[in-house]
Amino acid sequence: MTSHSPAPLRLRGHTFDASRPAVMAIVNRTSDSFWSGNRHSCLESALHALDAAVAAGADIVDVGGVRAGQDGDWVDDAEEIERVVPFLRAARERHPDLVLSLDTWRSSVARAAAGNVDLINDTWAGHDPELVCVAAELGAGYVVSHTGGLPPRTDPVAIRYADEGVSREQEDAAVVTSVVRTLREGAERAVAEGVAPERVLIDPTLDFGKTTHHSLAVLRATAEIVALGFPVLQALSRKDFVGETLDLPADDRLEGTLAATAVATWLGATVFRAHDVRATRRVVDMVASIRGDRPPSVARRGESPGGPGVRLR
């Protein structure tokens, strides 16, 4: 067991907690996502991916209209809205009970999604200070993230959280301190702006504003982040920290992603943003059962078929 019980996340009548971790499927309405397996610039392709994710066990679907990194074309507000809002409308019609999340840093895009979004995934840490206010106005949940202060679509270069010359251990401690402080302050602001605490999700945001060493240190500190008292999102799927750790391209990062997912689940993270929904679903459920928070789906082995059990010594 972790030293702190994960706080529950409540969205659209669903509760996600230690006994029921949530898998957040990713649908990118872009042609330039870093992983070619999740590029859905065509609405029909995006809706097919949505249906497949739900069938594979997704609890939440997160749609984004802009690539996170600095490569690729610039996308303005109007184009982003055109990419994500028709998808959200169609998704609501096809899956009325599904939790729908919007990955954006722009309040204008969130407002355009009113009535069709349950969670605002602010990946760029409040770059638009009005975004959390819009989430509160819409009655939606809100994801608090950590980027080390970098603006949207900025790749990290020469990133440090401590003075030059300190040890790796001191640098690791410094990035964890920054993450914990930023997430605490962001969560407190979200609640102050009117987002219900059980709808505030905190994300240490690995890779964003971080080196591979930083991301590994923050992943190891998941329990410390859980201790802040808000449900924790881990977005680990096929990220560069996995690729650099194992020296693998995005296409070959599934096993590394699942190893990181298992560790984060054990340490108390509640929500997992994932490209590979079925594999992630099985990993988080298995870890929750090993930890003792989720009963097995079936438990027949060695059980009595009706008569008295056999006592072994």
Successive 10-residue mean pLDDT values, the chain, 313 residues: 76 97 93 62 88 97 84 82 95 97 96 97 94 98 95 87 94 97 98 98 97 98 98 97 97 97 98 97 98 94 79 84
Token pair 């899956």 is at which residue?
Answer: 95
pLDDT for residue 2: 46
pLDDT for residue 40: 64
Q: Give the CA distances from residue 262 to residues 11, 118, 152, 266, 286, in Å, rounded to whole numbers and listed in that order.
A: 24, 26, 29, 6, 9
Q: Give the CA distances from residue 27 to residues 15, 222, 232, 306, in Å, rounded to whole numbers and listed in that order.
A: 22, 25, 20, 48
In angstroms, the CA 148 to CA 157 distance is: 12
pLDDT for residue 309: 79
In angstroms, the CA 107 to CA 30 distance is: 20
Domains of the chain: 9-291 (3.20.20.20)
- The reply to whether the predicted model has a pTM over 0.85 is yes
CA dihedral 257, 25, 295, 286 (to 10 degrees): -20
Give Cα 226 to chain centroid, integer Å. 14
In angstroms, the CA 277 to CA 22 distance is: 10
CA-wise closest residue to 141 among 132, 153, 150 = 132
